[in-house]
Amino acid sequence: MTDLPPEVPALCVVGTVAFDDVETPSGTREGILGGSATYFSVAASHFANVGLVGVVGEDFPNRYRSVLSSHDVDLSGLVVQPGGQTFHWSGRYEGDMDQAETLKTDLNVLETFAPELPSAFRACPYVFLANTDPHIQMSVLEQLEDPRLVVMDTMNLWIDIARDPLLAVIKRVDGLMINDAEAKSLSGEDNLIAAGRALLDFGPRFVIVKKGEHGSFLFSDKRLFALPSYPLDVVVDPTGAGDSFAGGVMGYLAGQHAQRVDDVCSAMLYGTAVASFTVSDFSLDVLGDLDRGTLEERADEIRRFVRP
């Protein structure tokens, strides 16, 4: 591939930067750094240069900005809304922690967010559209100049209230990343394999279904692939697992200049590796301290774990 100009990140993500209040069996934290773009970009930063597009309020502290910039995340697309307050999510996990119970969502600056990519980001070859209103995802797509690989996430809210705009976005991306309940709901299929296959008919070249502790599936016309989650006997906080997984997948692909389905399968190993560190502590407490060698070791461990 042609080398990118230095101001163009190899990978960009459009998503949320948030304050999280989290309650899990391991403890409680308030106002910790969270958000899809945060988890994604720090996870991906271990593999590629990442640009982040999002919005925060004036209350967003420098120490959180430093967490991102210390991973060389390009923050030229992070808007600070004057007088605004940062998106704030509160949630609780119980029992086997397979699902978050949302206690409160203060959209704040997200309510009026209409992301505009910095001009250098428009040439970005790898793009991840984190879960957000599909109209916003479409507006980002329209700002991109010939990206090599675009992958998107979504959630039940948009499946329920904005199905048509969502389908229009899905039709234009290379990959859809979605959790199992959403895959069933979007496709109308009770069986997850039928659901994954049905989603391919909506247009993307591949669909990755995230199953939390049960791992992930890749669906494509040529190949089905299953990968378990890394076996952890203590999960401290599942928040950010899916976005870290996506960050590992997309970061690995961007770092390798790769986009074939077989490459995506390899990338899922790294997504799984990164996510396993994310959930082993609150916020980015472990994820932020990783190095590439530790991730390679974890990926090797996962390879051994799945080899019959």
Sites for its own copies among residues 225-244 (CB under 8 A): 225-228, 231-235
CB of 196 to its own copies, least distance (A): 8
Distance of CA 115 to the CA centre of its chain: 17
Alpha-carbon radius of gyration of the chain = 18
Q: Is residue 217 involved in binding its own copies (CB under 8 A)?
A: yes
Identity of the residue, 184 or 298, whose beta carbon is nearer to its own copies in the bound complex: 184
Distance of CA 133 to the CA centre of its chain: 15
Q: Is residue 164 involved in binding its own copies (CB under 8 A)?
A: no
For residue 155, count other CB atoms closer than 10 A to its CB. 16
H or E, element range at 32 = strand 27-34
Identity of the residue, 202 or 225, whose beta carbon is nearer to its own copies in the bound complex: 225
Figure out which of the listed residues 224, 289, 292, 297 binds its own copies, where binding follows CB under 8 A.
224
Q: 279, 270, 290, 258: which is closest to 227 by C-alpha? A: 270
Identity of the residue, 88 or 210, whose beta carbon is nearer to its own copies in the bound complex: 210
Which of these segments, 82-90, 130-138, 160-168, 218-226, binds its own copies (CB under 8 A)? 218-226
Identity of the residue, 52 or 227, whose beta carbon is nearer to its own copies in the bound complex: 227
Where on the phi/psi map is residue 291: left (φ > 0), alpha (ψ -120 to 50), or beta? beta
Q: Is residue 92 involved in binding its own copies (CB under 8 A)?
A: no
Q: Is residue 214 involved in binding its own copies (CB under 8 A)?
A: yes
| Rounded Cα–Cα distance for residues 103 and 85 (Å) | 18
CA angle 166, 143, 10 (to 5 degrees): 100
Which of these segments, 11-19, 149-157, 252-260, 262-270, binds its own copies (CB under 8 A)? 262-270
Give the SS3 label for residue 275: helix
Pairing of strands 11-14, 50-57: parallel
Q: Is residue 308 involved in binding its own copies (CB under 8 A)?
A: yes
Output the six-digit token pair for 152.
């998107």
Q: Is residue 107 involved in binding its own copies (CB under 8 A)?
A: no
Q: Which residues bind its own copies (CB under 8 A)?
A: 25, 95-96, 184, 190-194, 197, 211, 213-215, 217, 224-228, 231-235, 265-266, 268-269, 302-303, 305-308
